[in-house]
Amino acid sequence: MRGERIEMLAARLFGKEDLRVVETAVPEINTDEMLVKVKAGTVCGTDLRMFKNGADGVDISHPLTLCHEFAGIVERKGAEVKYLEEGDRVSVAPNIGCGVCDRCVSGNSHHCKHLKALGVQIDGGFAEFVKIPAEAVVHGNVIPLSDSVSYEEAAANEAFACVYSAFERYGVRPGETVVVIGAGAIGLMHAKLALMSGAGKVIMNDLSRPRLDECAAIEPRITAVSGNLAEYVRDSTGGEGADVVITACSVAAVQQGAFALAGFDGRVCFFGGLPKGRETVPLDTNQIHYRQLTVIGTTRSSHGHYRATLDLIAKGVVDIAPVITHKFELKNTLGAFENAAGAIGLKQAVVFG
Ligand SMILES: [Zn+2]
Ligand SMILES: [Zn+2]
């Protein structure tokens, strides 16, 4: 290997609330694998959940390197790898399906029953180097990066792709009124896609006024509403209700209130899942029935979504760079997690020199 490095730093989870930056071996690769030198990784709600609750199979003797949102440079590729060259800038999609089941073959490998993901079941991007397994190499997880896309944007693209997966389902037509509840990185990405599609009005709501203000400062076309949302939506739509309502947070009461905000033939997207043990929510389903609402749930993103959003960033159609509000060095990864846990800023990035 160039540089002959045998040890590297990695932020590894050793158990519940036990994340340490430690020295570990640089992964060895086989002839059908790749080694990526990480340049940026971003913190996602999934990382935070794994940090707070611990993760299956992860303990003091089985640590896991977190981060499924990352980008970097091809450091080395095995002799059998037929695409990309050493030194190429790349973004890495984390989800690895089996490749042969019906879901995988239909382009939904992110819902494969045998799904494993970099940074979730196998070592991910909060490390100087990441091994890309053979299946990921042949499934096209490693994607060449346009010069116009930064490593941080390419990392955050994973979250953007998940948002895009939902966006494809709820759709936004020109002139429509869209309500996004949750003023975080995810909410802002929904808002940006709605505006891209010509939404007439994008209303954003959050309990935290500073977070709302932060989103509205980044995207001034957002109407930030911190008071009575139902009243605002009613008044601003002539009593009709919104065309699209998106819950971009993990709060049961938000899901409960979402139907009432939607107008006739409206679409309601439950983007944020609820914490385990609190997922049963009383809902007024007559609102779905009498107003012909469509309720949409989505999770994760396909390789197709991942590439589509990278393309939107590369072409300058959607600017997600401002969503990354804080940057940390790898040795301060815990600081990124503390920020994320404290809802400070929007998206936290770990960047490598
Ligand atoms: Zn993510
Ligand atoms: Zn499969």
216 and 329 assigned to the same domain: no
**Distance from the CA of 69 to the center of ligand 1, in angstroms?**
6
Q: What are 275's two structure tokens?
A: 């914490």
CA–centroid distance, 245 to ligand 1, in Å, is 21
CA distance 195 to 176: 10
User: In this predicted structure, what is the pLDDT of residue 15?
Assistant: 98
Model pLDDT, residue 5: 82
**Amino acid found at 76:** R
Q: Are residues 18 and 107 in the same domain?
A: yes
Question: What distance in angstroms lies between residue 140's CA and the mean position of ligand 2's atoms?
Answer: 14
Q: How far is the CA of 47 from the centre of ligand 1 (A)?
A: 8
Do 82 and 120 lie in one domain? The reply is: yes
Predicted pLDDT of residue 44: 96
Q: How far apart are CA 182 and CA 212, in angstroms?
A: 8
Cα–Cα dist 211/215, whole Å: 6
Taking the CA of 110 as reference, the closest ligand is: 2
Here the tokens at position 218 are 């980044």
Q: For 35-86, how does the pLDDT look when each residue is reduced to its tens digit (9 = 90+)?
A: 999 999 999 999 999 999 999 999 999 999 999 999 999 999 999 999 999 9
**Measured in angstroms, how far is the CA atom of residue 70 from the centroid of ligand 2?**
23
Q: 301 C-alpha to center of ligand 2: Å?
A: 14
Name the helix (H) or strand (E) containing 239: none
Instruction: Say how many domains are in the chain.
Output: 2
| Per-residue pLDDT tens over the stretch 80-134 | 999 999 999 999 999 999 999 999 999 999 999 999 999 999 999 999 999 999 9
Among the bound ligands, name the one nearest to the CA of residue 108. Answer: 2
Distance 268 CA to ligand 1 centre (A): 22
User: Residue with structure tokens 């990526």?
Assistant: 36
Q: Are residues 116 and 40 in the same domain?
A: yes
- Give the Å distance between the CA of 94 and the centre of ligand 2: 14
Q: Which domain holds residue 102?
A: 2-145+320-351
135 and 193 housed in the same domain = no
Ligand nearest to the CA of 186: 1
302 part of a folded domain: no
**Residue 307 domain-assigned?**
no
Q: How far apart are CA 167 and CA 36, in angstroms?
A: 30
Q: What is the whole-number distance in angstroms between the Cα of residue 337 and the centre of ligand 2?
A: 32
Strands, DSSP E only, in the chain? Answer: 7-15, 18-25, 34-42, 64-65, 70-77, 89-92, 95-96, 116-117, 129-132, 142-144, 177-181, 201-205, 222-225, 242-247, 262-270, 294-297, 324-329, 347-351
CATH number for the domain harbouring residue 324: 3.90.180.10
Distance, in Å, from the CA atom of 211 to the CA atom of 226, rounded to the nearest integer, reads 10
CATH code assigned at 192: 3.40.50.720
In whole angstroms, what is the distance from residue 270 CA to residue 274 CA? 10
- Mean predicted confidence (pLDDT) in 201-211: 96
Q: Specify the pLDDT at position 3.
A: 57
DSSP 275-315: PTT-------THHHHHHT-EEEE--S--HHHHHHHHHHHHT
152 phi-psi bin (left φ>0, alpha ψ -120 to 50, beta other): alpha
